[in-house]
Structure 1
């Protein structure tokens, strides 16, 4: 099959197609194959179940073998995201099958010199695999986003897995281009040099790890994971980022109003706050439903720059749909305590915005 269209125009068309469609396009003709395969391998997204009964991640192996067999594909790879969904329980039965896969994954990653985004969620927390075996001898001068989880202890208690997560500092130090770092299940303190990751602007991870990463770095967006208790010492360290934190995401941990007040004393420059509140244990036991949220007025007033509040991750019993009157009342109450507030998303998902005349209206209006 021939086409009168130049390759540049074909590429522009193919870039609008979904990966499953592109996989069909590469079979149409040699010319289509040559153009489409480079686009197909620009963004590699692999998600696969790896049960004990079939402990080899076949899709990952296929990708690695392909880029090793056809080296010309490596130059075009910009993003790789690998997620394994493994069975819970002991990791021993996986080890003999996973180790060879990690070796070929390492060989494949070594060829990706132009990669900009690497996300590895390997689902092997509690096992013996380490980041060094996966990333050794890799050089990623253009890497902007790096995410790693499912390696080492993860969020397992120390008594269940006494060995700490293997160090990752050596890789972070060797990759100064990183701007976005996500270590979702790392609870260790990282030993970084002051000159490491000078361009880091977003971080996702536990409070202890954040406290060791943020000081001196220009992080403006922070997403915390883990337990609802954050020490004063960690908050003090987090506040020593070289710029003020403007976006704070607490949707992956249960947050009490007391913790919010503690946070406000250190991160008083927050403009956007996304939070999953744990209200039942902290506000009046006789209150129910959306009325629980009334007690937030004084807490929100402690954030002098807060403009947007997103409570959509919060679950409230008996609140499945929005109550317009109650939500409008809360908007007015919160704005009274926090005059900078302009945009609110309730647990119901309803969005409200403050107009120039100070009236609150649903965002759809």
Structure 2
């Protein structure tokens, strides 16, 4: 096969647009001239989910240093519950060879610990993990000064110590310390702390240039978590929260708007509480503090009953009176409302868009 007289950059872009791994593999095997370019794209981003695909891929990478250095994005999402010690060691060996890695996501069985990241020389700008938020994770983060996007899905205590029932979800009163230094993660701008409590959230936000944050709001410590948001060196522009406080509909919008008036996008999911039409109308004045809010999602797991489209339009209109910058609203029933400079129009259910 004769390679077309195209610059290597153009051929690389063509391969980058190929979605099928099988097609890339066939291209790599079609000629020596195309092998290098197709292979670089084939191994640039790897997402391992099943044992059938994970083990052969990891073995290939462990035996071929050149292939390991091609990987820029690596994701391990294992759902089986008993990865062996040998498999952990294999992952550790491969990670040490991925010197050019910039994005890493690890969602595996709890027995997979941050020690698997020891002696790795890559420098990440994005990291996501299900590791528990403790000192061993801190040790790894301290060695990654270029991380800008961080997702932590682990708890900062034993999940069995949480107090959970139909009306409340409270943190363990003695969470695991998260002693990250003030000089770590100097570039962090996007944080998703899925289960972390206020102490961990505060440690990660304080003195760093956060602009986007996703976090839980547990009963009895909501104000501490929200106060932590004010410690960013930049204005928070996007905030996503999941509330576990049954009283949240009475105060949450007001507390957020008072602390973060410069938000551009706010997404709230309220659990353990009902959202009635009257409560939504009543919350309208709480939006007055927002100066730039354009996108507002206000969802709840339970509600007192269906709200008619006509009444949802009234709610959107009232909210817009208090916050004229609003452009898009998603209300508890899942309807998406859009403001077209004259009135609010319903675009349909969120799941349909």
Normalising by the smaller structure, the TM-score range is: 0.7 to 0.9
Q: Residue 129 of structure 2 is aligned with which of 148, 152, 166?
A: 148
In the alignment, what sits opposite 1:182?
A: 151
- Unaligned runs of 5+ residues in structure 1 are 49-56, 88-93, 155-164
In the alignment, what sits opposite 1:193?
A: 181
Displacement of 1:240: 0.9
In the alignment, what sits opposite 2:344?
A: 360
Cα distance in 2 for partners of 1:30, 1:291 equals 69
Cα distance in 2 for partners of 1:308, 1:145 equals 25
Displacement of 1:302: 4.7
Q: Residue 204 of structure 1 is aligned with which of 177, 192, 203?
A: 192
Cα distance in 2 for partners of 1:39, 1:33 equals 10
Cα distance in 1 for partners of 2:41, 2:93 equals 22
Change (3 A) 1:308 1:4: closer
Deviations 1:126-185 (A, max 9, x none): x4x4202x10001223x1101110x34x8xxxxxxxxxx452111111110000111122
- Unaligned runs of 5+ residues in structure 2 are 157-175, 349-353
Deviations 1:57-101 (A, max 9, x none): 3433322222222222223211011101135xxxxxx3xx43221
2:59 maps to 1:62 = no
SS at match of 2:13: helix
Q: Residue 256 of structure 2 is aligned with which of 263, 283, 286?
A: 263
In the alignment, what sits opposite 1:331?
A: 316
Cα distance in 1 for partners of 2:334, 2:245 equals 18
Deviations 1:317-357 (A, max 9, x none): 765xx954223211111112333323212345443333445
| 1:1-365 → structure 2 map (5 Å cutoff) | 1-6=1-6, 7-20=8-21, 21-48=23-50, 57-87=51-81, 94=82, 97-122=83-108, 124-125=109-110, 127=111, 129-132=112-115, 134-141=116-123, 143-149=124-130, 151-152=131-132, 165=134, 167-187=136-156, 188-205=176-193, 206-208=196-198, 209-225=200-216, 227=218, 230-251=221-242, 256-257=248-249, 258-278=251-271, 280-281=273-274, 287=276, 293-311=280-298, 316=303, 319=306, 323-357=308-342, 359-362=343-346
Q: TM-score, normalising length from structure 2? A: 0.80
Change (3 A) 1:273 1:178: same
SS at match of 1:198: coil
SS at match of 1:336: helix
Cα distance in 2 for partners of 1:237, 1:23 equals 48
Displacement of 1:214: 0.3
Q: TM-score, normalising length from structure 1? A: 0.77
Deviations 1:180-235 (A, max 9, x none): 11112232442122211111001111242211110000001000137455343333
Change (3 A) 1:207 1:8: same
Cα distance in 2 for partners of 1:4, 1:252 equals 57
Q: Is the 8 A contact 2:206 2:231 kept in 1?
A: yes
Q: Is the 8 A contact 2:135 2:178 kept in 1?
A: no
